[in-house]
Each structure stands twice: as C-alpha cells, then as structure tokens.
Amino acid sequence: MTISSSLSDLLATAREFVDREVIPLEPFFLTGSHEELEPRVVEVRAIAKKMGMWAPALPKEVGGAGMSLVEFAHLSEELGRSPLGHFVCNAQAPDVGNMELLLQFGSDEQRERWLKPLVAGDIRSSFSMTEPGHAGSNPTWMSTTAVRDGKEYVINGDKWFTSAADGAAFTIVMAVTNPEGDRYRRASQIIVPMETPGFTRVRNTPVMGDTGSGWASHSEVSFNDCRVPVSNLIGGEGDGFVLAQERLGPGRIHHTMRWIGICERALELMCRYAIDRELAPGRPLATRQVVQHWIADSRAETNAARLMVLDAARKLEEGGSKAARTEISAIKFYVANVLQRVVDRAVQVHGGMGMTDYTPLAFWYRHERAGRIYDGADEVHRNVVARVELAKHGSVDLRG
C-alpha cells in the first residue's frame, strides 16, 4: 500500500520524535516513580502538540490533527514502539475511543463539558464494561443496572478492568437500562463523574504482579446507588451495544497497529542484543542459526500483520464496520498472536535481561498478553471468520 509523501514525512518525524523524546522516558516509566515521570511527560506532550501529532484521530475543528483512519494506523505503529508513545500524543486507550464516541454521539453539553477538555489533554477518562461475575466473551450478559428515577439514573453494580480509572475525571459505564429488551438493546452508556456519591474506585487490579498507576492501570470500581442526571446518557436508551460496535472497529485498528509498533521495537531490540551479546569472545548470539530464524520469522510475521491491518483499515474507512467485519476479526486474533510470538522471541534472546524491566519487553509480555482476551477473545473472532467462510459454501448448523 503506497503512502503520500506528506504522510511519509510525518512518519519519519514521528519516528525521530519517539527515539529522541519518548524512549528516554521509559526508565522512569518502567522502574521509576510517577512523580519522576509526570513532569517529563508534560514537557514531551507539549512538544507533540507543537509538532501536529496531538489527538491524531480527532478532527482539526475540535483540536485534533485530523488524520484519516489509515493515516492514524500508520502513525499508531510509530507511536507503538514505546509504551508511552500514544499517551504523549493524547491517543491512548480508552481516551481515544471515548473522544470518538462523544464526538459522534455526545450531546452539545457533553461535548463542551467532557470532550473539549479531553481533547485538550486537561483531563483523562475511563471505560467501565467488564464485570468480575460474568464472562467477558459474552458482553451482553451483565448485572450492573441503571434505573431511571425522575431526571436521574440510579446505578448499581461492580466492574473491573476499568481502564485508566486511576486519576480519571469520569468513566463511561455500560449498564442495563432495559432488562426486558432484546439482548442487544438492554444496555446503555452513561457518563459518571468520578466524584459522584456512590461511585468508588476500589483498587487497581494487579496484572501479572504489576499494579500500575494513572493511565497505565486497570481498576475495580463499584456503583452503589450512584445517581447521575439522565442528560449523562450517551445516544439513546438501549443504544449501548450499538455505540460499542461503532468504537470497536476503529479501536481494533488502533490496537493492532500499536501492536505492530511493539513488534518492530521488539525486533529491533532482539537484533541489537544478538549482535552485541557474545556467547564467548568473538561469538555473538547473532551467529546462532536459531536466533537468525527467530529474527526472520519475526520480520515475516510483522510484515504480514501490517498488510492485513492496513487492508482492514481501508475497508473500514470505505465501507464501515459491517463491510470490514471479517477483516477486523481476523486482524484481532492474528496480530495478537504475532505480537505474543515476537515479544517472546525477543525475551528469549535477551535471556535474563529479558525478564527485567531494564527494557520494555517484560512490560509488554505482561500487559499485551491480554490482547488475546480483551475486545473479544481469539476464539470468538475465529468463530466469526469461520462462519463467514463456511457460509460461502452452504449453510451448516455450527452448534455441534
């Protein structure tokens, strides 16, 4: 897929920016403290704004860079080379999805109160959907309710893996508003400010021993007779899953291209370490055939994954989520597995160093393993692709 000269120049600038400004912050992020990191991140975010890479997925008229989905997909790869890349450009999940959601479906009041400061980077947001008591692979099954009482919703329930709740200004909660409705019309999405009485951020959820903090964390949260105005409803009542589907398609493009950026950085680290690390004087790891094969496989798989994602992004941009449904499911499970294999090889090449936080490899190994689970487990997306392919050759009862 060819890219314009202007986009090519931007990507070269983005790579230089990540190398010069972002990667040097990684030691503070991986082994330092939030207090050490925060002032440095503020400075780098200001640089990103001046360079025109701020909120790249949002239109210029609301303060973003106005990139198309395909353009942002390319940029996302470059930013994904560092765990901090998307955050310093205000393009991190779940904020980027919440911004797109509010822009497309939010009321004028919601855009003014929440979208405007979110795009400016003055506040952060979170998203509350997954529940500890229900399988995430069936998102229509949830117990959190929002019962209307006059001009308010009364919300009750428990959520976990509420991304970036630590320090966020608000969360968007998925709650059942129509318990007797069709399974895809039962839930709604509602804005809940963090200071609302009845809302509690219970704790950050440790992920393979890493509790995280700030935007780089997940939280358990609780709603206990939590009252918010009906005007905090996004879209219409019962539109929760319709809105979720609208954000999931582009969101999977964002995630998978970020994963490809991780693969590129892991491959880069793998090659450099294989050249520099000697098994004995004059015998670097790079002379071992198995290491050469790991490098070759990683290059081939990363290139294939990139082409798949860019093709899905083009189809999504031209025909919408429905037209690209198969491609979106395919990239979700394929790229997540490529990511896991490439990072694992890089860890193996680094040996003991790969297990430490002196490189970002261990961080990615811990946190990106969830890529095969969130936004639909691998098995769910494989089923989608298989059903489409089987339907081309005649109907069949797939229930077994």
CATH (domain of 264): 1.20.140.10
What does the pLDDT read at residue 197?
98
Q: Whole domain around residue 281: which residue ranges? A: 241-391
Convert the pLDDT of each residue in 354-372 to its tens digit. Answer: 999 999 999 999 999 999 9
Q: Which of 182, 200, 234 is the last residue of a domain?
A: 234
| 51 and 68 fall within a common domain | yes
Helix (H/G/I), strand (E/B), else coil: 64? coil
d(CA 141, CA 131): 9
| 173 and 296 fall within a common domain | no
| 255 and 363 fall within a common domain | yes
What does the pLDDT read at residue 181?
87
What does the pLDDT read at residue 7?
87
Q: Would you call the peptide bond into 193 cis, given omega within 30 degrees of 0 as the criterion?
A: no
Q: How confident is the model at residue 2 (pLDDT cuts 50, 70, 90)?
A: low
Phi, psi of 169 (to 5 degrees): -85, -30
| 226 and 312 fall within a common domain | no
| 143 and 25 fall within a common domain | no
| 18 and 148 fall within a common domain | no
Whether the per-residue pLDDT at 250 is higher than 90: the answer is no
Nearest residue to 374 via CA among 173, 126, 129:
129
Q: Average pLDDT of 55-81?
A: 94
| 281 and 303 fall within a common domain | yes
Percent of the chain with pLDDT over 90: 84
What's the predicted TM-score (pTM) here?
0.94
Phi, psi of 364 (to 5 degrees): -65, -40
Residue with tokens 């704790």: 203
Whether the per-residue pLDDT at 104 is higher than 70: the answer is yes
Q: Which of 106, 139, 162 is the last residue of a domain?
A: 106
DSSP string across 89-110: TT--TTHHHHHHHHHHH--HHH
398 is a domain residue: no
Whether the per-residue pLDDT at 1 is higher than 60: the answer is no
260 is a domain residue: yes
- Check which CATH number belongs to the domain holding 141 and give it: 2.40.110.10
| 248 and 384 fall within a common domain | yes
What does the pLDDT read at residue 400?
57
| 286 and 367 fall within a common domain | yes
Nearest residue to 220 via CA among 135, 136, 157:
157
| 65 and 136 fall within a common domain | no
Whether the per-residue pLDDT at 184 is higher than 90: the answer is no
Do 298 and 263 meet the contact criterion of CB atoms below 8 Å apart? yes
Amino acid identity, position 289: Q
117 is a domain residue: no
How many Å from the N-terminal Cα to the C-terminal Cα in the chain? 41
Number of independent structural domains in the chain: 3
Strand partners, 227: 154
258 is a domain residue: yes
17 is a domain residue: yes
Q: Average pLDDT of 135-149?
A: 87
Amino acid identity, position 56: P
87 is a domain residue: yes
| 321 and 339 fall within a common domain | yes
120 is a domain residue: no
- Check which CATH number belongs to the domain holding 78 and give it: 1.10.540.10
60 is a domain residue: yes
| 355 and 250 fall within a common domain | yes
Q: Which of 50, 72, 106 is the last residue of a domain?
A: 106
